[in-house]
Amino acid sequence: MPQTAGERIGVYPGTFDPITRGHSDIIRRGAKLVDRLIIGVTTNISKNPMFSPDERIAMVEREVAALGLDNVTIVGFNALLMKFAEKQGASVIVRGLRAVADFEYEYQMAGMNQQLNAGIETVFLMADVSLQPIASKLVKEIALFGGDITPFVSTAVRDDVLVRIKTLGQLGDY
């Protein structure tokens, strides 16, 4: 969808495997900063995804619908982030931060992205204090070992993860 005059478009990229309460917090807050927020669900095979890109897109669509945000859309992509952002007409990249380790990585990425397109700003949002320890990788690990992931994801996402673990049939086989 092309940008209209004066419209500020933001992109919040991620693998969302699975989408967590932390992601939802950043989406909710990021949507307040722009006229339109595009959630870019990307493929990152180095993260050993539990869910396919289509499953993750559907999961994010369902979670965003539950937030009731009418200025958020979800788009899958498998390209360089800055190329994706340019194609979407974005002027802002929204990134969530949890800890110092996140900042170091994100700072480096923001610098590289600025070299690729200085016209697109990166905005960092700190996760809510209660949500800072949540990471998709840890959610999957906790679930694989039989732990309760309810505090970290919605009930629907918890159910998706538990069904996937049952279909895998054995620990760590995803």
Q: For residue range 43-101, list pLDDT tens digits in order.
A: 876 778 999 999 999 999 999 999 999 999 999 999 999 999 999 999 999 999 887 77
Predicted local distance difference test score (pLDDT) of residue 103: 81
1 domain residue, yes or no: no
Mean pLDDT score across all residues of the chain = 90
The predicted structure's pLDDT at residue 174: 41
Long-range own/partner contacts, residues 79-85 (CB < 8 A, 24 or more apart): 80/116, 81/11, 81/13, 81/40, 81/42, 81/113, 82/113, 82/116, 82/117, 82/120, 84/11, 84/13, 84/40, 84/42, 85/11, 85/40, 85/117, 85/120
pLDDT digits 0-9 by tens, 20-29: 999 999 999 9
User: Which has more confidence, 101 or 38?
Assistant: 38
Confidence band, pLDDT 50/70/90 cuts, at residue 171: low
pLDDT at 155 over 60: yes
- With respect to residue 152, please indicate whether it lies within any of the assigned structural domains: yes
Q: How many domains are there within the chain?
A: 1
The CATH number of whichever domain residue 149 belongs to comes to: 3.40.50.620
**Residues spanned by the domain of 19:** 9-168
Q: What is the pLDDT averaged over residues 18-40?
A: 97
For the annotated catalytic residues, the residue numbers are 23, 47, 98, 136
Is residue 81 domain-resident?
A: yes
| The predicted structure's pLDDT at residue 21 | 95
133: confidence class by pLDDT, cuts 50, 70, 90: confident
